[in-house]
Amino acid sequence: MIARRFWAWVVFGLGAAYFLLPLLATFIFSMQMRRDRLTFDAYLSVFADERFQSTFTYSLLCAVFAIIVGIIIVLPAAYFVRLRLQWLRPVMEFITLLPLIVPPIILVFGHIKLFNSSSILPLTNSTFGTDVLIVCGYVTLALPYMYRAIDTGLRTIDVQTLTEAATILGADPIRTMVQVIFPNIFVAVLSGAFLTFAIVIGEFVLASLLNRPAFGVYMQNVGANRAYEPSALAIISFALTWGAMGVIQLLDRFAPRTARQA
């Protein structure tokens, strides 16, 4: 018994060292921009960089649009599959699994080939078209997470009864979805949204191959040319990821209580 606990502590300690050491080292490294003392100058240099602000804003906007588009296409589909088209469920599961099987680099390669300037739908011809394409790419990458989040949310409420009640009161399907179903699974939708945000904000491959000024491309650029700023960016990214995941965990804790009462 004592031996077991001893080994558990050893394993945990080694693991903690492996996971915390890089974070600690990166943090200290990021503060060594001045030779003689520790400062936050690398962070100031990053935040003051005009390209940081513009690329971060660009990626943030991409994330917002990807979240909106994702909700608009996934919510009705998941809702009606649960309500009326149960036999479609395996198809939905298969489709939402595909982005995990097809690596992002292949997805964007396909997009470039299908939507290039000589195709029927030449999205890559204009900046706006490429922006549309990259948002759709991000929606696709986030599809497995968005679908699972929304589907889990729908499972915790009584979709059938809520729909019946709303219908009796005279609501059409769209109104039922927007005013009854959506508020009831809002917490689940939010966790899907934050996962989408975590995926999009530092994404590199799509943005780089579509030549869009996203945060990931900026980070790659800084990584290739600077010494201390990349570590600052790593810490900032880790904080962002931690923030997004922390919000999801918090939401998970509150989700069942608010949802089941519906």
Partner 1 sequence: MSTVSLAADKATGPVSTGPAVSLWRSIPIGAWLGVLPFIAFALLFLIVPTLFLVSSAFVDRDGNLTLQNIIDLGTDQVVNAFSISIRISAASAFFGALIGLAMALAIIRGRLPSAIRSTVMTFSGVASNFAGLPLAFAFIATLGRLGLVTVILRTVFGFDIYKSGFNLLSFVGLTLTYLYFQIPLMILIIAPAIDGLKKEWSEAAATLGASRWQFWLYIGFPVLWPNLLGTLSLLFANAFGAIATAYALTGSSLNIVPILLYAQIRGDVLHNPGLGAALALGMIVITACANVLYIVVRTRAERWLK
Binders of partner 1 among residues 202 to 241 (CB under 8 A) are 202-205, 209, 216, 219-220, 223-224, 227, 230-231, 233-234, 237-238, 241
HSE, side-chain direction, 13 A CA sphere, residue 210? 38
Region for residue 118 given its phi and psi (left: phi exceeds 0; alpha: psi -120 to 50; beta: otherwise): alpha
**Tokens for 217?**
């491309």
Alpha-carbon distance 254 to 247, whole Å?
11
Which of these ranges, 44-52, 58-66, 163-171, 180-188, lies near partner 1 under the rule CB under 8 A? Answer: 163-171
* Pairwise CA distance, residues 9 & 29, whole Å: 29
For residues 149 and 127, the answer to whether their CB atoms sit within 8 Å is no
Q: Report, in angstroms and rounded to the nearest whole number, the Rg of the chain calculated over CA atoms.
A: 22
The residues in 105-144 that bind partner 1, with binding defined as CB under 8 A, are: 105-115, 136-137, 139-140, 143
Judged by beta carbon, residue 54 or residue 89, the one nearer partner 1 is 89
Cα–Cα dist 108/103, whole Å: 9
Q: Which of residues 241-260 bind partner 1 (CB under 8 A)?
A: 241-242, 244-246, 248-249
State which amino acid sits at residue 76.
P
Region from 33-41, 52-60, 156-164, 184-192 binding partner 1, contact rule CB under 8 A: 156-164
| The binder of partner 1 chosen from 117, 126, 161, 179 (CB under 8 A) | 161
211 torsion bin: left (phi>0), alpha (psi -120 to 50), beta (else): left
| Shortest separation between residue 75's beta carbon and partner 1, angstroms | 9
Specify the DSSP class assigned to residue 40: S
* CA dist list (Å): 221 to 55, 118, 175, 258: 12, 30, 47, 45
Residue 17 as a binder of partner 1 (CB under 8 A): the answer is no
Q: How far apart are CA 227 and CA 46, in angstroms?
A: 12
Q: Choose between 86 and 118: whose C-beta lies nearer to partner 1.
A: 86
Instruction: At 141, list the tokens.
Output: 């990458």
Q: In whole angstroms, how close is the CB of 61 to partner 1 at the nearest point?
A: 19
The minimum distance between CB 127 and partner 1, in angstroms, equals 19
**Dist CA 146 CA 194 (whole Å):** 9
Q: Which stretch binds partner 1 (CB under 8 A): 20-28, 50-58, 60-68, 182-190?
A: 20-28
Subset of residues 51 to 80 that bind partner 1, contact rule: CB under 8 A: 72-74, 76-77, 79-80
Which of residues 34, 44, 57, 98 is near partner 1 by CB under 8 A? Answer: 98
Task: Output the smallest distance, CB 24 to partner 1, in A.
Answer: 8
* Interface with partner 1: number of residues (CB under 8 A): 96
Neighbours of 54 (CB within 10 A): 13
Q: Is 173 in the site for partner 1 (CB under 8 A)?
A: yes
Minimum distance of partner 1 from residue 32's CB (angstroms): 9
Q: Is 179 in the site for partner 1 (CB under 8 A)?
A: no
